[in-house]
Amino acid sequence: MRFSAFSIFKEALGGNRGWKPQWRDPAPKPHYDVIIVGGGGHGLATAYYLAKEFGIANVAVLEKSWLGSGNIGRNTTIIRSNYMLPGNEPFYELSMKLWEGLEQDFNFNAMISQRGVINLFHSDGQRDTYARRGNSALLEGADAELLNPGQLKEIAPFLNFNHARFPIFGGLMQRRGGTARHDAVAWGYGRGADMRGIDIIQNCDVTGIIRKNGLVTGVETSKGTIGCNRLALATAGHSTITANMADLRLPIESHVLQAFVSEGLKPAIDNVITFGMGHFYISQSDKGGLVFGGDIDGYNSYARRGGLYTVEHVFETGLSMIPGLSRSKVLRTWGGVMDMSMDGSPIIDKTPVPNLYLNTGWCYGGFKATPASGFTFAHLIAKNEPHPVTRQMRLDRFERGYSIDEGGKGPQPNLH
Ligand SMILES: Cc1cc2nc3c(=O)[nH]c(=O)nc-3n(C[C@H](O)[C@H](O)[C@H](O)COP(=O)(O)OP(=O)(O)OC[C@H]3O[C@@H](n4cnc5c(N)ncnc54)[C@H](O)[C@@H]3O)c2cc1C
């Protein structure tokens, strides 16, 4: 069923009783060309592009819970491509271009809103750093603009410009950045993959990887054994567990990241705004809730909830940036399990285990990467060679000394 203004009007007249489920609920077949483990944003996008771009549709996505139950449905929905390093920026700019055509491409309303992302800076030195980052983005064809305090005051008068410790000197703006409705992205990719014949199998926990003479030949699951020619892991915060099933130890740690939403307020914050003297980012959803977050909790965990000390830390940082926040009430908080790599950048690569492909290391930033991650991971699986924009996102870069340290902060998850 295609979505259009006409179909919505027709269904409204019929009491909206004609809508059908947007994807099937198939039983697993004994064997697939490709199995993707993980029905999050990246697994579903990979399946979609495998079928659409590379004509490989004998594919199953195995998800241990329900479609979109992981980080894809738990993030703060920010999309942007204002990265700096050559190992990252072309990839994120490809993602931004895919975002810009995504709703038409998969015929689903993902509420993509290019409302602009502003990174605040608070000193002359930080202005220089941000100018450099903006220039790097411009060189890769992305957009970037330095705003002075006067321009910023017109856009966001509620900011704490004269903070005693963190006065605001301006902001780096990417106008094409913004937000997208996270779970609609999962639904859109899932529906698009299903329409092309891919089996999305929910409640199917992968418990083991089967190998013959070293080669991956299938998986053990809670729904039985399923064979495959190629196996792709897109399990985000659980990557170390699934890779361990093939005796692979990854340079990844799992950490909890919390997010917060306030009660619904009148429109106040038009853009996504991030603080430059601490980790804090905020936007306002279409329902009026202020959506915000900060740092990871800082200890390894698979729990999707965090500690109160991080709540306090995030609120303190937020109030430094927008004192008026103290008058809004927080409605909900939640957490997600993050796949933190040691340099803060992702891994999209083959593994030393034949027929096993890996997609992980998304840290704070995997939602914005979803389209390019799916596209380039599908390219890797289909052609058995990396897409040009992921050439540096290799698994062995840590042992070779070629890390992509985007933040320039060193090799620890709590620094990224
Ligand atoms: C609070 C929070 C805020 C964030 N904010 C942003 C943001 O604003 N912008 C941004 O770009 N990024 C953000 N992120 C990061 C982003 O959400 C993630 O990097 C991205 O969603 C990870 O990829 P995914 O969607 O495939 O992961 P997931 O949705 O987590 O998908 C992985 C799936 O694998 C499944 N799985 C795991 N093990 C198995 C198994 N053994 N068998 C079968 N299935 C399995 C899981 O159930 C899960 O559904 C945020 C993350 C969090 C937690």
Q: Report pLDDT digits (tens) over 71-86.
A: 999 999 999 999 999 9
Tell me which residue of 203, 240, 233 sits closest to 216, measured CA to CA.
Answer: 233
Rounded to whole angstroms, the Cα distance separating 197 from 194 reads 5
What pLDDT does 414 receive?
74
Which atom of ligand 1 is closest in space to residue 368's alpha carbon? 11
For the ranges 45-59, 74-88, 149-163, 398-412, which has the lowest average pLDDT?
A: 398-412
Given a cut of 90, is residue 130 above it in pLDDT?
yes
Rounded to whole angstroms, the Cα distance separating 18 from 265 reads 34
Q: What is the pLDDT of residues 331-367, one digit of tens each?
A: 999 999 999 999 999 999 999 999 999 999 999 999 9
Residues with CB under 6 A from ligand 1: 37-43, 62-65, 69-72, 74-78, 205-206, 234-238, 242, 257-259, 293, 336, 338, 362, 364-368
Q: Give residue 152 CA to ligand 1 midpoint distance, Å.
A: 33
What pLDDT does 412 receive?
80
Contacts with 356 (C-beta within 8 Å, 6 or more apart), sequence order: 209, 216, 230, 231, 232, 233, 246, 248, 350
Alpha carbon nearest to ligand 1 atom 31, residue:
40
Rounded to whole angstroms, the Cα distance separating 145 from 150 reads 14
Given a cut of 90, is residue 410 above it in pLDDT?
no
What pLDDT does 211 receive?
98
Q: What is the pLDDT of residues 87-117, one digit of tens each?
A: 999 999 999 999 999 999 999 999 999 999 9
Q: What is the pLDDT of residues 314-336, one digit of tens each?
A: 999 999 999 999 999 999 999 99
Q: What is the pLDDT of residues 200-251, one digit of tens each?
A: 999 999 999 999 999 999 999 999 999 999 999 999 999 999 999 999 999 9
**Contact indicator for 311, 334 with CB cutoff of 8 Å:** no
What pLDDT does 174 receive?
98
Q: What is the pLDDT of residues 153-195, one digit of tens each?
A: 999 999 999 999 999 999 999 999 999 999 999 999 999 999 9
HSE (side-chain half, CA atoms, 13 Å) at 343: 21
Q: Give residue 79 CA to ligand 1 midpoint distance, Å.
A: 15
Alpha carbon nearest to ligand 1 atom 48, residue:
70
